[in-house]
Structure 1
Amino acid sequence: MSLSLTLACLWAVIANVLAMMPSKDQHWRNAYILIGIGIPLVGYVTVQHGPWIGLLVLAAGCSILRWPVIYFGRWLRKSAGQFRGPAE
């Protein structure tokens, strides 16, 4: 297994261990750290293995960090609604 996939698997294991630990802020601090490490890691996997494997790793990361992804999607939808203008 290549270094990038090994690091991605290690990231997933660490994310799951952090999810099992109690947290006062509902794990948001951990999520920010995991996102900051995970985005360059997905890029590294994509460079070494191509876009399809990169998309698989991205999908795995999104399934682990689903609530930040859900909130980001809601924010994007709300932001897009502001730029449409008045409804006719």
Structure 2
Amino acid sequence: MLVRGSALDAAVERACALAESIDEPTRPRARLRADLLVCEALAAAGRTDNSATRLQSVLDRCMGVGLRQWIRDADAVLEPLITALGGQRDDHVGP
């Protein structure tokens, strides 16, 4: 199925709105997952510069709290960006 640019832009807007609606101090994992969703939506919309900027912070936060599986799950969409950031897959999702 071909998705039009406006639909992808709308998905980015919805993902951003969701992330911004979550109170990080009281729901840190929910906010982190929503921030990862924003990265995925930006990448899918072809906005890789924006996605890469956010992704580094999200990767660091995931690794800091031991949520490597989330990175593995998102890896198909985000692997090119992880590589572009200078990291190898194993650096972020090792054992």
TM-score of the superposed pair, with normalisation by structure 1 = 0.46
Q: Which has the higher contact order (CA 8 A, sep 6+)?
A: 1
Larger radius of gyration: 1
Larger helix fraction of residues: 1
TM-score of the superposed pair, with normalisation by structure 2 = 0.44
